[in-house]
Structure 1
Amino acid sequence: MAKVQYCTPEWLEETARIYASRPEYKEKFKKLSAKVCYRVKAEPEWGIDEDIIFGTFIDQGELKKLAFFNEKDAQKESDYILAATPQEWKRILRKEGKFVGDFLLGKIKLELGSKVGVLGIAPHSGNIVDWLTQVDLQFPDEMSAEERAQYRQRLAAFRRQAGV
């Protein structure tokens, strides 16, 4: 299993490659058509100085897009924007919490789209988490101070270059 850092281009690239190489994902998501963006709220102690948004766009099992977004494009292109702290997303991705429960408790906020719509796609959340965690994710709180400083610099440089 490849080790990659959370919210980096390498994470999304490897995750997209895995999706393309494993037909079971297309089968698992054949009833899913949704454009969902996830806002990871700024957490300077984690090296995330500004909110970062990534999205998964799936249409009847076809992965149409897995990318980082700027605010304008996320608002324009997605059906839903879900927001939470990086600590909350880590809990979900580590399977220490469940999406539906945390969404209903308000730990994950809906910024765009309807609550009914999100609950309609929620049955796919476990499969989405499984897919997004087919790599060995390293979160900033698991990094040394030096690694976190490098992460912050790499993330800032990527965001400037990509406009996200």
Structure 2
Amino acid sequence: MDVVRYCAQEWLDECLRRYPLTPRFQQELQKLTLVICFRVAADPEWGIEKDIIFGGEVEKGYLKRLCFFNEDEARQQADFIMAATPQEWKKILRKDNKFLTDFMVGKITLVQGSKVGVLGVAPHANTFVDVLTQVPLQFPDEMSPVELAAYRNDAGVVREKLGA
């Protein structure tokens, strides 16, 4: 299985493509209908020059989209926007840390939506992490200088397309 870059278009596309191949995802998320966004804080050392927002839209367990959002789209469409450093998101996606624990201690902040609402969807966090980790991920701190330069360039292209 190919390794894909974290927070890159190919990662979101591949996770969306694979979603229907794992019936438990739809079963475990069947009670959810929401748009949730995740803000990855800028970190130039990781090739992230400006914040990046990605997210997913789930309707009764069906993952309708998994994509990047610009700030306005996220604010208008998302039920929840959560923010953290790329290092924190890496810990969540590598399953070194749990979403709910890190949310409760403030490592993941709520930008939009209600805390009570987040606690209502938190039981599904592990499943959503599984959705986002269907393929092996390469994080920017694991990239060679050449790979990091390409990643930085690609992230700029994504932001340009979004008007961000």
What is the total number of aligned residue pairs between the two structures?
Answer: 164
- 1:97 alignment counterpart: 97
AA at the equivalent of 2:81: I
Per the TM alignment, residue 45 of structure 1 is displaced from its structure 2 partner at its CA by 0.3
RMSD: 1.1
1:154 aligns with 154
Letter in 2 for 1:91: K
Match of 2:112 in 1: 112
1:7-156 map, 5 Å = 7-156=7-156
Runs (4+) of structure 1 moved beyond 4 Å?
none
Structure 1 regions of 5+ residues with no counterpart?
A: none
Matched position secondary structure for 1:7: coil
- Give the conservation status (yes or no) of the 8 Å contact 2:43–2:49: yes
Partner Cα distance (1:39, 1:2) in 2: 25
> What secondary structure is seen at the aligned counterpart in 1 of 2:7?
coil
Specify the code of the residue in structure 1 equivalent to 2:121. Answer: I
Q: 1:11: Cα distance to partner? A: 0.4
Q: Offset of 1:162 from its aligned partner? A: 3.8
Q: CA deviation at 1:159?
A: 2.0
Structure 2 length-normalised TM: 0.96
Amino acid at match of 1:69: F
Percent identical among aligned pairs is 54
Deviation readout 1:22-61 (Å, 9 max, x if unpaired): 3222112111222110000000000000000001111111
Aligned partner of 1:34: which letter? L
Contact kept in structure 1, 2:37 and 2:81, CA below 8 Å: yes
Q: Is the 8 A contact 2:26 2:61 kept in 1?
A: yes
Note the residue ranges of structure 2 that are not aligned, 5 or more in a row: none
Deviation track 1:80-106 (CA, whole Å, cap 9, x = no partner) reads 000000000000000000000000000
Return the alpha-carbon distance in structure 2 between the equivalents of residues 105 and 159 of structure 1: 30
Provide the secondary structure at the position in 1 that maps to 2:150.
helix
Q: Deviations over 1:53-86 (max 9, x none)?
A: 0011111111122110000010000000000000
- Report the CA distance between 1:20 and its aligned residue: 2.6
**1:2 to 1:28, Cα distance in 2 relative to 1, 3 A:** farther
- In structure 1, what residue type is equivalent to 2:114? S
Question: Which letter maps to 2:9?
Answer: P
Letter in 2 for 1:119: L
